[in-house]
Structure 1
Amino acid sequence: MSPEAATSRFLASLKTPARILVAISGGSDSTGLLLLLFEALKAAPDLSISLCAATVDHALRDGSADEAYQVAALCTSKDISHRTMVWQGEKPKAGIMAAAREARYRLLAEAAEAFDANLIVTGHTLDDQGETLQMRGMRSEQISTGIADAMLFDRRFWVLRPLLFSYRADIRDFLRARGTPWIDDPSNDDVKYERVRTRRQLSLDAKAETNITGIWDERLALSSDGAGWLDRYFRLHGGLLGQVMPDGLSRDRTVLDYALGRLTAVFGGQPFGPGRAQMEQLLAFSAGGKPGRTSVGRVVFDLRRDGLYLARETRGIAPLILPPGSTRIWDGRFEVRNRSGATIGVEAAAAGAPSFLHSPEKTISFGSAEGVSYSVQSITPSTHSGWLPVPSTEDFAHLPKAAWKRAVASAPALYVEKGILSAKSARSVDLAPYFAPFDRFLTRFDFTFANRLSAVFSKAPYAEPPFKKY
Structure 2
Amino acid sequence: MALLAVACDWARDHGRPLLALTVDHGLDRDSARWTAFAREAARAAGADWRGLSWTGPKPAAGLPAAARAARHRLIADAARDAGARVVLFAHTAGDVAEGELMRTAGSSLGRLRDWSPSPAWPEGRGLMLLRPMLDVGRAELRAWLKGQGSGWVDDPANDDPRYARARARASLLPSGEGGARAVRRGRMRGYGASSPGAVSPHPPARRSASGPLPLPMGEGYFSIDRAVSARTLAAALVCAGGGDRPPRGDRLQRLLTRLEAGETFTATLCGARLDAGPDQVLVIREPGEFIRRPAPPLLLAPGVETVWDGRWSFTAAEPGWGVAPAAGRMAALSRADRGRLNDLPSAARGGRPVLIRNGAAAPVLADAAVTARSLVEERLALALDRMTHEMELEPRAHGATPRNHLFSGTDLGE
TM-score normalised over the length of structure 1: 0.62
Counterpart selection for 1:341 from 310, 319, 323? 319
The verdict on how the C-alpha distance between 1:65 and 1:343 changes in structure 2, with shifts beyond 3 A counting, is: farther
CA offsets per residue over residues 264-294 of structure 1, 9 Å max, x none? 2222223344323223322332234454433
2:29 counterpart of 1:56: no
CA offsets per residue over residues 214-253 of structure 1, 9 Å max, x none? xx968x2245x65xx237xx462x6155434xxx43xxx4
- Structure 1 gaps of 5+ residues are 1-30, 206-215, 364-375, 379-389, 452-457, 463-470
Larger Rg: 1
Deviation, structure 1 residue 125: 1.0
Q: Contact 2:35/2:51 (CA < 8 Å) preserved in 1?
A: no
The verdict on how the C-alpha distance between 1:92 and 1:410 changes in structure 2, with shifts beyond 3 A counting, is: farther
Look up the match of 2:98: 131
Look up the match of 2:115: 150
Distance in 1, matches of 2:276 and 2:384, equals 32
Distance in 2, matches of 1:461 and 1:91, equals 42
Look up the match of 2:370: 429
Deviation, structure 1 residue 36: 4.2
Q: Contact 2:42/2:49 (CA < 8 Å) preserved in 1?
A: no
Distance in 2, matches of 1:191 and 1:343, equals 52
- Structure 2 gaps of 5+ residues are 119-123, 176-202, 393-400, 406-414
Secondary structure of 2:354's aligned partner: strand
Look up the match of 1:109: 79
CA offsets per residue over residues 22-67 of structure 1, 9 Å max, x none? xxxxxxxxx12223455x669xx8x435563423232514443333
Distance in 1, matches of 2:376 and 2:167, equals 33
The verdict on how the C-alpha distance between 1:178 and 1:266 changes in structure 2, with shifts beyond 3 A counting, is: closer
Look up the match of 1:329: 307
Look up the match of 1:350: 327
Counterpart selection for 1:266 from 236, 239, 246? 239
2:97 counterpart of 1:120: no
2:195 counterpart of 1:230: no
Counterpart selection for 1:193 from 139, 159, 163? 163
Secondary structure of 1:101's aligned partner: helix
Equivalenced residues, count: 354
Higher strand fraction: Structure 1 or Structure 2? 1
2:36 counterpart of 1:69: yes
1:79-94 mapped onto 2 (5 Å cutoff): 80-87=46-53, 90=56, 93=59
**Which moves more between the two structures, 273-282 or 129-138?**
273-282
Q: Contact 2:25/2:55 (CA < 8 Å) preserved in 1?
A: no
2:132 counterpart of 1:162: yes
1:414-425 mapped onto 2 (5 Å cutoff): 414-416=355-357, 418-419=359-360
Deviation, structure 1 residue 100: 2.3
2:79 is aligned with what amino acid? A
Look up the match of 2:353: 412
2:131 is aligned with what amino acid? R
Give the root-mean-square deviation of aligned CA atoms: 4.1
The verdict on how the C-alpha distance between 1:284 and 1:68 changes in structure 2, with shifts beyond 3 A counting, is: closer
Distance in 1, matches of 2:386 and 2:80, equals 24
Higher RCO structure (Cα 8 Å, ≥6 apart): 1
Look up the match of 1:373: none
CA offsets per residue over residues 69-116 of structure 1, 9 Å max, x none? 2233334444x0322232375355475323322234225515753xxx
Look up the match of 1:368: none
2:250 counterpart of 1:284: no
The verdict on how the C-alpha distance between 1:305 and 1:107 changes in structure 2, with shifts beyond 3 A counting, is: closer
Distance in 2, matches of 1:437 and 1:99, equals 22
Secondary structure of 2:38's aligned partner: helix
Look up the match of 2:179: none
Distance in 2, matches of 1:260 and 1:84, equals 38
The verdict on how the C-alpha distance between 1:286 and 1:49 changes in structure 2, with shifts beyond 3 A counting, is: same
Identity %: 20
2:49 is aligned with what amino acid? R
Look up the match of 1:315: 288
Distance in 1, matches of 2:68 and 2:5, equals 29
The verdict on how the C-alpha distance between 1:170 and 1:337 changes in structure 2, with shifts beyond 3 A counting, is: same
2:308 is aligned with what amino acid? W
The verdict on how the C-alpha distance between 1:201 and 1:294 changes in structure 2, with shifts beyond 3 A counting, is: same
Secondary structure of 2:328's aligned partner: helix
2:149 counterpart of 1:182: no
Secondary structure of 1:243's aligned partner: strand
Distance in 2, matches of 1:405 and 1:423, equals 18
Deviation, structure 1 residue 126: 1.0
